Structure 1
């Protein structure tokens, strides 16, 4: 990372919701070309802070500078014009539209009164190749995987000219293999000079993806660290405010007789698509059976 200038400076940010301070004197800086993790428990104030930065809500007090200039981000259009884009946890895509249509929706390239689809498609293909997103613009959203849908959201933000990108819990919907690919995409974006804020509460992810980490707890910033110099135990303690035992000691389960048996379960949804295809499992007395999977599986 050559140029280490701050592209974002948030100073003494307070957001008061009728007496509840969701953000209570938070400071955050983002440098050009870096990946900054924003770490905190659910309800710590991470999303509120990023909603302020992306123009969705206004701070009660505090100042924001973008590339050294003091700004008032009074709505998402101002954020977009400042080159700030947010990839939300829940995608905002029209299932029946193509990738191309979803990306240019609300940001059309016109040729006289007509939409210039060819020009838009060329730009989108160029972005997809440059950042290794591997997306086919002609596919319908309903035909692509959740991981690919996330890449469409990334393309949407890039197409609108963002060079400061906020990702809200982006790996919640991804498989382990997809997470590895996603982290490579993040690294590629940073290498090309994009500045990235990654909202997360996954410690392992911070270790793998981020350069620095800002920890917030109960609406306050409790420290910013170089990821290389801080371990997961310390981050966990800062996040929750007490010592965290990272080792799990489980007693051996006393497993009894089979209480529930499921064999070759098939389930179709209202659209007559098979959502469960031949699932089998047994549940015994005295055990806890975990069902693991990704959203939508």
Structure 2
């Protein structure tokens, strides 16, 4: 099916999100829409899917104009959409989610779950999704949940599939699986609109690339274009894809973690006698395949797991056993890996989210109340500094794109004097221009004397930022190595090999470890 947009315009008050967009997606084509956070990509797709009414222009399917009163009309016309934040009911099974709103019934009017299970299994088997129709959504990893969303769309005979930032919350392994799924869908004749700002993925799977900036189409590019060229087109200026930093000026030991242990409710070790130190003026990057204890480590330092044993000392003060409030007051800045759930409150404004952990302190608090004028002024300064794309400082958190939500969280945590800064996936969901800025800001924090811990599934980010790298495997630290350790060695360590073993194997079998160029810049590709 061919999709064509002619002059699509969408406004929100005085703000023009989409400005006379012209776009053609050919049948069986993977068409990537590349752009910064807040460029208008998701708004455009919501217009196509019937969630928004355009203020101008028209949509054509196979050269015939169409009008959608809602998503139901779009789905009936053969358009499916997988949103950045999944539209699934956690306590329902896969089959129940797939048929929700379109329940198959027989003559009795009773929902036919058997037919739903059959349909899920048929699609799952056809594309190798490996999804159990009776599994509950809340028990599935994020990558599997995304496959359920794709099954939902395909079960309704979608011939055009819109994927809105589909890899924003995926591990590198899950991202590679999704790219392979996209290739299979293309081979079956499905057209795909792929919204992203991740350059490697665009080059790996796109047939055509259209670049959108501040609501306008600014050009197109070939997948053979370099990442530097694509980055420059996306942000409208030259972008440094590396990280410029001088050698660290190390100070005293700021954080000392000793024999840190955490058990699950079933008695399974989530953290297994973790030991490390971080000095002031140092960035320690934590690498590892997702699920090897990184999340539990950062949350335990924050104070979110009071049953942990061992010792966490910050500036000669024991943190273990203290509340989260006390730990933050001790000088910890903390960016969680799930910004939308743990990093901000969706129903609060940007202003309110920026003072969440400081609302009762000067200069935000004044004579027993909030200094609203000061809060608004400061928020507007951070919006400009961190390039948060929004109409107002009073916009709700849920009205921001995922990348702009992340910028708000980072602005809040980096806006006060810190002794220790911990960031899990600090640039997840950010475009290259924003990543460049955040990396510079993290290095500045290090150079101010703050001890920094970065947890990232992006191997380029780990290597570019780290002064030292701690590799986690099955809840423990298998080794702490220099920041310039080769990627193939890191990949082998993440698979469970000690440093010396990994070095030896990397030297003996270099081609087996590094793989091709396209898969060498993420943790998944390094394995």
Fold-level match, TM-score > 0.5? yes
Q: Residues of 1 paired with 2:235 and 2:253: CA distance?
A: 39
Residue 132 of structure 2 is aligned to residue 136 of structure 1 = yes
What pairs up with 1:143-158 in 2 under 5 angstroms? 143-158=139-154
1:177 aligns with 2:173: yes
Shift of the alpha carbon at 1:290? 4.3
- Counterpart pick for 1:199 among 177, 195, 199: 195
| More relative contact order, 1 or 2 (CA 8 Å, 6+ apart) | 1
Which protein is bigger by CA-based radius of gyration? Answer: 2
Structure 1 SS opposite 2:203: helix
Gaps of 5+ in 2: 291-336, 339-423, 425-527
CA distance in 1, matches of 2:189, 2:204: 19
Identify which of 255, 271, 280 aligns with 1:277.
271
RMSD (Å), alpha carbons: 2.2
Q: Could you tell me which residue of structure 1 aligns to residue 83 of structure 2?
A: 88
1:249-277 per-position Cα deviation (integer Å, ceiling 9, x unaligned): 32111222211123425387xx9998963
**More displaced stretch, 122-131 vs 42-51:** 122-131
The 2-side partners of 1:267 and 1:11 are apart by 57
Give, in angstroms, the shift of residue 157 of structure 1: 0.9
Structure 1 position 118 matched with structure 2 position 119: no
CA distance change for structure 1 residues 71 and 244 in 2, over 3 Å: closer, same or farther? Answer: same
Bigger fraction of residues in helix:
2
Aligned to 2:16: 21
CA contact (8 A) 2:35 2:213 kept: yes
* TM-score for the superposition, normalised by structure 1: 0.90
CA contact (8 A) 2:255 2:279 kept: yes
| CA deviation after TM superposition for structure 1 residue 224, in Å | 2.0
- Report the alpha carbon displacement of residue 170 of structure 1 after superposing the two structures with TM: 0.8
Give TM-score scaled by structure 2 length: 0.52
Whichever structure has more strand as a proportion of its residues is: 1
Poorly superposed stretches of 4+, deviation over 4 Å: 271-276, 278-281, 290-297
State the secondary structure of the residue aligned to 1:124: helix
Task: Give the whole-Å Cα distance in 1 for the aligned partners of 2:268 and 2:23.
Answer: 46
Distance in 1 between residues matched to 2:25 and 2:267, nearest whole Å: 45
For the Cα contact (< 8 Å) 1:13–1:59, is it kept in 2? yes
Alignment of 1:1-297 (within 5 A): 7-112=2-107, 113-228=109-224, 230-263=225-258, 264-266=260-262, 277-278=271-272, 280-290=275-285, 295=337
Structure 1 residue 163, shift from structure 2 partner: 1.1
Q: 1:109 to 1:218 in 2, by over 3 A?
A: same
Note the C-alpha offset of 1:15. Answer: 1.1
